[in-house]
């Protein structure tokens, strides 16, 4: 699950997941929700492989891929199939389509106080976005 | 936690957290604010972020926050930090994502009465000519090679292409081109984001606004800047678009490794930094200068199109439709400058994040007509409220490395603003006040509601009273175009 939390200048989202896979998927859904957009037709599928030195950097890289797709390809992804995930690597299949009804742009994903914490129920983090 | 007790009062409007407050602080942290503004800085994370800034290696004198400061990420917005070269650090998070986001002021020779009857058509024309909004590309088609030239030449590229006049560049910070740009230090992704967006406004808080000079408070400076009561002027607020954001994203990520390499310990990963003269520092500075040049060029191309709109709508009614540049300043940037520290002239890397340069009289870079009064400091207010033109002072050199505020500063979160204000209601309210609005998104409009910002008049009052900059003229909006 994700919830938007208060930030004076930009956007912040608190994300929880029972495991890292759910955390990454919910983070992507949370970011999509901020933009207000949805994918139109035709749908498009692509695979993504990422590596990073730690889980937080991997999370930022994952979300940055979606920012880039939105801005350069004009595409929103709303189906995230995680094929493999460790704290330093990710393989996923993304399905989306041309962005429709976007009224807010997420321009960048920050590292501000970014830490993925283990909780009794799984994982939790808060992500601040530049808008 | 940084609470009220951490701040000592140095003098009226000057508050300081001493270096002894936290072991990792290298310099004190100073906030220029009224008592009320201090309360606001403590209630969100502004004060915390200001104290965090003071931990960066090589920091000199103090970390400073301007009166419009508010919570950001890494640095607070309104933050100024200078590090001593060559080994003091440069921090991509200390510049921010929208590298060289800035403001340009253009003046007409027209009175409000001459433009007023045509404001609807004028704002429609500006809205049509200046591409804006989420994900909107521009009208220019440039190649990758041209982009590399633009990244080196800045507004000079626009001059070569016929989008500028020589005097526009003379009246732009650093002449519209920062030396040291290295296009090879930008990722292909940054360039991909930059190619289609030259000459675009973007969304968020970016705007083109037509204003009237409501009041002049400094005759000498306003005369030098060519401003007079009743005059119609234009502000353009935008930056380096997706290209700048990608440069920042790339280097904040790369610098996560650099802090480990150089053994730098920081309280927030967004503050990552590297010694200025390290390979990482040099690469970022080269890329940042390129992004800054992109922003100068971007505002210049938009200027050309706003001039076209003035010609299209007003030339049938007057021969005096033209717009002349007053000044263009950056408010997200790191610059190499020489300042006096403890009686010694030293080279510094001055980070200004949500803060503008505000150099006083005698500064050699200024055009001759401004040199005796000082650099224009442009302070846009929130949508529908006043904006200010100020002038830099000598005193700002002692207080803030020659820096001042960049706007009103937010006081309410976007989330709360969206819940508090309906975009369509705000539109009606602004139109009721006689302001012509062209907005791409009602949700976006609501987030930028005046109620979400501090009172710009109060911010400017504090800036003026401390001496960071001096009041010159107050502007009132007639029309605004937002993405």
Over residues A98-131, the pLDDT tens digits come to: 998 887 889 999 999 999 999 999 999 999 999 8
Residue B341 pairs with which residues in a beta bridge? Answer: B344
pLDDT digits (tens, 9 = 90+) for B24-35: 999 999 999 999
All residues at 6 or more sequence positions from B213 whose CB lies less than 8 Å from its CB, including other chains? B222, B227, B228, B229, B230, B231, B233, B473, B474, B475
Cβ–Cβ gap B97/A6 under 8 Å: no
Compute the distance between CA of residue B441 and CA of residue B424 in angstroms, rounded to an integer: 10
Q: How far, in Å, CA of B145 to CA of B414, rounded?
A: 39
Chain-chain contact of A107 with B204 (C-beta, under 8 angstroms): yes
In the block, tokens 């979606």 appear at A66
Tell me the percentage of chain B whose pLDDT exceeds 90.
Answer: 90
* pLDDT higher at A103 or B373: B373
The residues, ordered by sequence, that sit 6+ positions from B58 with a Cβ below 8 Å of its Cβ are B26, B83, B84, B85, B87, B88, B89, B275, B276
Give the pLDDT confidence score for residue A102 in this predicted structure.
85
B90 DSSP β-pair partners: B274
Is B311 an 8 Å CB contact of chain A? no
Q: Count of CB contacts below 8 A, A vs B?
A: 115
Rounded Cα distance between B235 and B477, Å, is 10
pLDDT higher than 90, residue B454: no
Q: Is the dihedral of CA B37, B422, B133, B131 positive or negative?
A: negative
> Could you report the per-residue pLDDT of A42-100, keeping only the tens digit for each?
999 999 999 999 999 999 999 999 999 999 999 999 999 999 999 999 999 999 999 98
Q: Which of A39, A38, A34, A40 is nearest to A104 (CA)?
A: A34
Residues in A whose CB is inside 8 Å of some CB of B read 4-11, 35-36, 53, 56-57, 60-61, 64, 68, 70-72, 74, 99, 102-105, 107-114, 128, 130-131
From A71, A108, A111, residue closest to B135, measured CB to CB: A71
Q: Which of B206, B339, B351, B406 is catalytic?
A: B406
Overall average pLDDT of the B469-473 stretch: 98
Q: Which residues of A touch B204 (CB under 8 A)?
A: 105, 107, 131
How far apart CA B241 and CA B200 sit, in angstroms, is: 8
Residue B470 banded pLDDT, cuts 50, 70, 90 = very high
Cβ-contact A43, A77 below 8 angstroms: no
Estimate to the nearest angstrom the gap between the alpha carbon of A73 and the chain centroid: 17
Interface membership of B242 toward A (CB under 8 Å): yes
B471: β partners: B390
Segment holding A76, helix H or strand E: strand A75-86
Find out whether B414 and A105 touch, Cβ atoms under 8 Å. no
pLDDT attached to residue B135: 67
How many folded domains does chain A comprise?
Answer: 1
- Mean pLDDT in residue range B316-327: 97
DSSP one-letter string for A97-126: EEEES------EE--TT---EEETTEEEEE
Residue among B155, B66, B190 at smallest CA distance from B468: B66
Q: Domain B4-411+453-482 - what CATH class?
A: alpha beta
B73 burial class (0-12, 13-18, 19+ CB within 10 angstroms)?
A: buried
C-alpha to C-alpha distances, B84 to B57, B58, B251, B276, B349, nearest whole angstrom: 9, 5, 21, 9, 7
Q: Do B253 and A5 touch (CB under 8 A)?
A: no
Nearest to B269 among A9, A74, A114 (CB): A114
Segment A23-26 long-range contacts (CB within 8 Å, at least 24 positions apart): A23/A59, A23/A116, A23/A122, A23/A123, A23/A124, A23/A125, A24/A59, A24/A62, A24/A80, A24/A82, A24/A85, A24/A90, A25/A80, A25/A82, A26/A1, A26/A2
- Per the annotation, the verdict on B406 as an active-site residue is yes
Minimum CA–CA partner of A128 in chain B: B73
* Closest B-chain CA to A59: B253
- Summarize the confidence of residues B164-180 as an average pLDDT: 98
Predicted confidence (pLDDT) at residue B205 exceeds the cutoff of 90 = no
Average pLDDT, chain B: 96
Q: What is the mean pLDDT of residues B143-166?
A: 98
pLDDT tens per residue, range A3-44: 998 887 788 999 999 999 999 999 999 999 998 889 999 999
DSSP single-letter state for residue A30: H
Distance CA(A16)–CA(A1), nearest Å, equals 5
Query: How far is the C-alpha of B356 from the C-alpha of B335, rounded, in Å?
Result: 11
How does residue B415 score in pLDDT terms, banded at 50, 70 and 90? confident
Dist CA B41 CA B17 (whole Å):
13
Nearest CB among B97, B134, B272 relative to A130 is that of B97
Please report, to the nearest 10 degrees, the dihedral formed by the alpha carbons of residues B128, B131, B132, B133 taken in order. Answer: 100
Q: Do the chains contact at B253 and A113, CB–CB below 8 Å?
A: no
Q: Sort out which chain A residues have CB atoms less than 8 A from B412's CB and list them.
A: 8
- Residues of B whose CB is below 8 A from A72: 189, 192-193, 242
A112–B441 CB contact, under 8 Å: no
Backbone angles phi, psi at B39, to 5 degrees: -60, -40
Which of A103, A116, A129 to probe the B interface (max B CBs under 10 A)? A103
Instruction: Please state whether the peptide bond connecting residue B479 to the residue before it is cis, i.e. omega within 30 degrees of 0.
Output: no
Cβ-count burial B431-462 (b if 16+ within 10 Å, e if not):
eeeebbbbbbbeebbbbbbbebbbbbeebbbb
The answer on pLDDT for B136 being more than 80 is: no
Six token digits for residue A88: 């330093």
Distance from CA of B405 to the nearest CA of A (A): 16
The yes-or-no verdict on residue B362 having pLDDT over 90 is: yes
Q: Does B415 touch chain A (CB under 8 A)?
A: yes
| CATH number for the domain that contains residue A21 | 3.55.10.10
Considering only A85-89, B368-372, B406-410, which range has the smallest mean pLDDT? Answer: B406-410
B416 pLDDT band (50/70/90 cuts)? confident
- Residues B252, A110: C-beta atoms closer than 8 Å: yes
**Per-residue pLDDT tens for B62-115?**
999 999 999 999 999 999 999 999 999 999 999 999 999 999 999 999 999 999
Residue B215 sits at the chain A interface (C-beta within 8 Å): no
Q: Is the ipTM of this complex over 0.90?
A: yes
């Amino acid at each position: 699950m994700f919830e938007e939390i208060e930030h004076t200048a930009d956007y912040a989202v608190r994300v929880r997941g029972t495991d890292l896979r759910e955390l990454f998927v919910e983070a992507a859904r949370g970011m999509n929700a901020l933009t207000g957009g949805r994918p139109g037709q035709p749908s498009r599928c692509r695979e993504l492989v990422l590596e990073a030195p730690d889980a937080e950097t991997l999370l930022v890289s994952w979300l940055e891929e979606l920012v880039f797709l939105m801005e350069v390809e004009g595409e929103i992804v709303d189906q995230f199939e995680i094929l493999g995930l460790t704290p330093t690597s990710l393989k996923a299949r993304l399905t989306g389509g041309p962005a429709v009804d976007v009224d807010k742009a997420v321009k960048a994903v920050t590292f501000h106080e970014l830490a993925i914490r283990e909780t009794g129920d799984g994982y939790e983090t808060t992500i601040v976005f530049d808008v | 936690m940084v609470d009220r007790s951490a701040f000592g009062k140095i003098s009226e409007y000057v508050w300081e957290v001493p270096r002894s407050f936290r072991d990792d602080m290298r310099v004190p942290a100073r906030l220029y604010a009224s008592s009320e503004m201090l309360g606001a800085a403590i209630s969100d994370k502004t004060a915390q972020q200001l104290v965090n800034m003071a931990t960066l290696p090589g920091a000199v004198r103090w970390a400073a926050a301007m009166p419009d400061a508010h919570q950001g990420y890494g640095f607070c917005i309104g933050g100024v930090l200078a590090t001593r070269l060559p080994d003091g650090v440069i921090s991509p998070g200390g510049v921010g994502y929208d590298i060289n986001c800035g403001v340009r002021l253009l003046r007409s020779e027209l009175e409000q009465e001459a433009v007023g009857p045509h404001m609807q058509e004028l704002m429609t024309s500006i809205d049509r000519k200046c591409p804006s909004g989420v994900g909107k590309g521009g009208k220019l088609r440039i190649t990758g090679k041209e982009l590399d030239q633009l990244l080196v030449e800045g507004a000079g590229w626009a001059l070569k292409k016929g989008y500028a006049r020589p005097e526009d560049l003379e009246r732009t910070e650093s002449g519209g081109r920062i030396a040291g740009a290295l296009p090879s230090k930008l990722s292909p992704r940054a360039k991909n984001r930059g190619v289609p967006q030259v000459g675009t406004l973007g969304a968020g808080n970016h705007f083109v606004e037509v204003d009237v000079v409501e009041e002049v408070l400094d005759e000498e400076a306003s005369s030098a800047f060519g401003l007079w009561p009743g005059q119609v002027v234009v502000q353009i607020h935008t930056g380096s678009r997706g290209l700048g954001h990608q440069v920042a994203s790339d280097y904040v990520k790369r610098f996560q490794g650099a802090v480990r390499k150089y053994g730098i310990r920081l309280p927030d990963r967004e503050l990552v930094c590297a010694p200025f003269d390290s390979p990482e520092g040099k690469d970022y500075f080269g890329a940042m200068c390129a992004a800054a040049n992109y922003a100068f060029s971007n505002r210049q191309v938009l200027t050309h199109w706003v001039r076209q709109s003035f010609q299209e709508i007003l030339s049938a009614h007057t021969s005096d439709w033209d717009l002349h540049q007053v000044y263009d300043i950056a408010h997200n940037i790191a610059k190499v400058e020489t300042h006096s520290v403890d009686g010694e002239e030293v080279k510094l890397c001055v980070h200004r994040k949500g803060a503008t340069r505000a150099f006083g009289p005698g500064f050699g870079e200024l055009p001759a007509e401004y040199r005796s009064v000082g650099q224009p400091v442009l302070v846009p207010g929130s949508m529908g409220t006043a904006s200010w033109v100020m002038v830099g002072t000598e005193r700002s050199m002692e207080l803030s490395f020659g820096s001042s505020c960049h706007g009103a500063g937010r006081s309410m979160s976007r989330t709360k603003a969206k819940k508090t204000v309906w975009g369509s209601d705000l539109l009606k309210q602004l139109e009721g006040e006689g302001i012509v609005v062209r907005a791409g998104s009602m949700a976006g409009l609501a987030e930028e509601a005046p109620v979400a910002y501090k009172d710009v008049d109060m911010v400017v009052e504090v800036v003026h009273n401390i001496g960071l900059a001096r009041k010159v003229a107050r502007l009132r909006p007639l029309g605004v175009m937002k993405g």
